[in-house]
Structure 1
């Protein structure tokens, strides 16, 4: 009986050791995946910073003014002046269409007092 207990204990220890071995390698694999993801995120942030810098460089006011002057004949771009803006009451909004009345119910309060006995 004691021998059987020792054999079962040894098998349980070997099974737990095998499980721990597998979990260790799964954990190391997950850590490597996280490290790769962090590197990809860092590279994406770097690309985003470069794109933001390029956007800021390309949208400099002096550069845009030079481009507008250079292409004035083709585009006819003018600087925005306060007179170019209007007020809301100058906007012609379209009329809302009138929907047809369907399933109309006629309501009247002429005889409301006489029906209830008042």
Structure 2
């Protein structure tokens, strides 16, 4: 009986050692994957910063103004001027009298077809 207990305890220790060994390799693989993903995120953030800088460079007002003047024949774009902007109190909102009456209403509260 005692030898059976010792054999089963030894097998249990070997089994747990094998399981721990496998878990160690899985953990190392997951840590490697996390590190690779962190490097990829860093590269993408750098790329995004470069793209934002390029976008800001290409959207400079003086460059856009020169392009609008250069392509005026094809596009007909005019440069922005301060006179083209207005104040919020200059906007004419529709009044109550401009609301159109509802005609030919459809009743949708009826029984649904089956």
Q: TM-score if structure 2 supplies the norm length?
A: 0.71
Larger Rg: 1
Counterpart position of 2:55: 55
Equivalent pairs counted in the alignment come to 99
The structure, 1 or 2, with the larger RCO (C-alpha pairs under 8 Å, 6+ apart) is: 2
Deviations 1:77-99 (A, max 9, x none): 12221x32233343232346488
Structure 2 partner of 1:77? 78
Q: Which runs of 4+ in 1 moved over 3 A?
A: 94-100
Q: Tell me the residue number matched to 1:40.
A: 40
CA RMSD of aligned residues (A): 2.3
1:18 is aligned to 18
5+ long unaligned stretches in structure 1: 101-118
TM-score, structure 1 normalization: 0.69
